[in-house]
Amino acid sequence: MIYRSLLFIVLFIFFGCSKTDSNTTTRAIITLKEGWKFQKGSHPNAISIGYDDTNWESVTVPHDWAIYGPFDKEIDKQDVAIVQNGETVATEKTGRTGALPYIGEAWYRNTFDIPNYNENKKVLILFEGAMSEPEVFINGKKIGEWKYGYAYFYFDISKHIKATNNTLAVKLNNNGLSSRWYPGAGLYRNVRVIVKNQENINQWGTFITTPNITDKIAQVNVKTNVTGDNLKLITTIFDANGKKVNSNETSTRFGNQFEQNIAVNNPVLWDTENPYQYTAVSKLYAGNILKDEVTTKFGIRDIKYDRESGFNLNGIPTKFKGVCLHHDLGPLGTAVNKSALRRQLKILKDMGVNAIRSSHNMPSFEQLELCDEMGFLFLAESFDEWKKTKVKNGYNLYFDDYAEKDVVNLVRATRNHPSIIMWSSGNEVPDQWGSEGVKRAKWLQDIFHREDPTRPVTVGMDQVKAVMESGFGAIMDIPGLNYRVHLYEDAYKRFPQGFILGSETASTVSSRGVYHFPVEKGSMVQHDDYQSSSYDLEYCSWSNLPEDDFILQDNKPWVLGEFVWTGFDYLGEPTPYDEVWPSRSSYFGINDLAGLPKDRYYLYRSRWNTKDKTLHILPHWNWEGREGKTTPVFVYTNYNSAELFLNGKSLGVQTKNNSSPQHRYRLMWMDVTYEPGTLKVIAFDDQGNPAAEKEIKTSGKPHQLVLEPDTSTIKANGEDIAFVTVSVVDKNGIPCPTATNQLKFKVDGKGVYRAACNGDATSLEMFHLPTMKLFSGKLVVLVQSTKETGNISLMVSGDGLQPAKVELKSVQ
Give the catalytic positions in this structure. 428, 504
3-state secondary structure 201-255: EEEEEEEEEEEEECCCEEEEEEEEEEECCCEEEEEEEECCCCCEEEEEEECCEEC
Angle formed by the axes of helices 338-351 and 365-374, nearest 10°: 40
Residue 446 makes CB contacts below 8 A (sequence gap 6+) with: none
Please say whether the beta carbons of 778 and 735 come within 8 A.
no
Please say whether the beta carbons of 366 and 341 come within 8 A.
yes
Dihedral, CA of residue 52, residue 53, residue 55 and residue 61, to nearest 10: -170
Residue 665 makes CB contacts below 8 A (sequence gap 6+) with: 546, 547, 550, 603, 606, 607, 656
> What is the CA angle 173-766-539, rounded to 5?
85
CA distance from start to end of the chain = 48
Q: What is residue 549's three-state secondary structure? A: helix
3-state secondary structure 767-812: CCCCEEECECCEEEEEEEECCCCEEEEEEEEECCCECEEEEEEEEC
Q: Which residues are 618's β-sheet partners? A: 634
Please say whether the beta carbons of 422 and 445 come within 8 A.
no
Closest CA to 222 of 204, 240, 209, 213: 209
Task: Indicate the pairing of strand 141-145 with strand 135-138.
Answer: antiparallel
State the DSSP string of 297-315: EE-EEEEEEETTTEEEETT
607-629 core/surface letters (b: 16 or more CB in 10 A; e: else): bbbeeeebbbbbbbbbbeeeeee
Q: How far apart are CA 549 and CA 620, in angstroms?
A: 27
Residues in the chain: 812
Q: How far apart are CA 31 and CA 512, in angstroms?
A: 39
Please say whether the beta carbons of 121 and 196 come within 8 A.
yes
Q: How far apart are CA 594 and CA 570, in angstroms?
A: 10
Please say whether the beta carbons of 672 and 643 come within 8 A.
no
Can you say whether the dihedral through the CA atoms of 761, 762, 767, 771 is positive or negative? negative
Q: How far apart are CA 653 and CA 640, in angstroms?
A: 11
Q: What is residue 744's three-state secondary structure? A: strand
Q: How many angstroms from the chain centroid is the CA of residue 585?
A: 16
Angle formed by the axes of helices 338-351 and 599-608, nearest 10°: 60
